[in-house]
Amino acid sequence: RPSLCHRPITINMTQTQTQSQTQSYWTSIEADIAAHLKRAIPIRPPVSVFEPMHYLTFAAPRITASALCIAACELVGGDRDQAMAAASALHLMHAAAYTHEHLPLTDRIRPKPAIHHAYSPNVELLTGDGIIPFGLELLAKSIVKNGSNSDRILRVIVEITRAVGSEGVVDGQYKEFLCSQSKGEESWNLGDIEYVCKKKEGGLYACGAACGAILGGGSEEEVQKLRKYGLYVGMIEGMLYGVGRNKKGMEGEVEKLRGLATKELEIFNGRKIEKICSLVQAGLCSV
C-alpha cells in the first residue's frame, strides 16, 4: 500500500499554497517556542547570570529538533502545549552544548569556526552549566501544572538526559574533536561522519520526535516510528549542515536517509503527514 510519503515528496509540494502552508506551520511552531523561552528566561536578578543565559539561549542557531517535538505531538493527536516544555528544554540543551563547543580551552588547537563571543569564556562556561539544569527544571515543573501527565514527563526527562549526555551528544562532540584534531575535515571518513551525525543531530531529533509522541499520547509503535524518523532527519541535517558539510559525495547518503525517513511515516498514512514529512526536503531541514 503506497503511502503519501513514499511517493516523491514533491507531489505534495507542487502547489504553492500547500508549500507556503507547510512553511508557515514550522514558522508558527518556532515562534511559539521562542515566545515560551522568552517568558521562561526573563532578564531578572541576578542580571549577571540571567542576561548571558538569555543571550546565549537565543544566540545558538535553531535546530529543528524542538519544532519536530511539537509536530510529532500534534501528529499523534496531542496539543501543542503538551510538548512545549520539552521542546524548549531541547533547545536549551542544544544551546548549552553549542556554547561549550565554542569555548576557548587551552588544549583546543584547531578552534571551531570563530563565532562572536559576547561574554568571557568563564561566563560562557558557567552559563552553559546553568542552562542544562534550567531546561530540565522547566520540564519537571510543567508537571505540577498539569498533574495528570507525570509519567509521560518523567519518561521524557530520561529521554532527554540520555540524548544529551555521555552516550549521546557528548559522545558525538568528543568524537568530533578527536577527528578534527587528527585530520582536516575533508579527510574524515564516512564512518566518522555518520557516527557524529547519529550522536549529535540524529540523537537530538530522534529524542525530540519521540518525546513529542510520548507527550501527545501516541502509541508505543508511533513513538518508535517517530523516533526513527527523527533519527534520519537529524542525520540528514548533520550531513548537510553539520560535520558533513564540507565532505563531498554526501548526496547519496542523504538520499538513502530520506527514503528511510519517509518509510517510517507509513503507519500514519491517512493522517495529515504533509507537514512533518516536509522536513526530509533538504530546504526545510533548517527552518
Binding site for a copy of itself (CB under 8 A): 46, 48-50, 53, 93, 96-97, 100, 103-108, 120-123, 125-134, 136-137, 140-141, 143-144, 150-151, 153-154, 157-158, 160-162, 164-167, 170-171, 173-174, 177-178
Cβ contacts of 251 within 8 Å, gap of 6 or more = none
In the complex, what is the shortest distance from the CB of residue 128 to a copy of itself, in angstroms, rounded to a whole number? 7
Nearer to a copy of itself, 133 or 283 (CB): 133
Report d(CA 173, CA 198) in Å as an integer: 11
Q: Which is nearer to a copy of itself, 14 or 122 (CB)?
A: 122
The nearer residue to a copy of itself, 64 or 142, going by C-beta atoms, is 142
Q: Residue 48 Cβ, how far from a copy of itself at the closest point, in Å?
A: 6
Q: Which is nearer to a copy of itself, 4 or 40 (CB)?
A: 40
Nearest residue (CB) to a copy of itself, 151 versus 251:
151
Q: How far is the CB of 59 from a copy of itself (least distance, A)?
A: 16
In angstroms, what is the minimal distance from the CB of 34 to a copy of itself?
Answer: 20
Residue 252: all three cell numbers together: 547519496
- In angstroms, rounded to a whole number, what is the distance separating the alpha carbons of residues 24 and 63? 16
Q: Are 135 and 88 in contact (CB under 8 A)?
A: yes
Distance, in Å, from the CA atom of 193 to the CA atom of 191, rounded to the nearest integer, reads 5
- Cα 153 to Cα 78, 108, 215, distances in angstroms: 14, 37, 7
Using CB atoms within 10 A of its CB, is residue 107 exposed (0-12), middle (13-18) or buried (19+)?
Answer: exposed
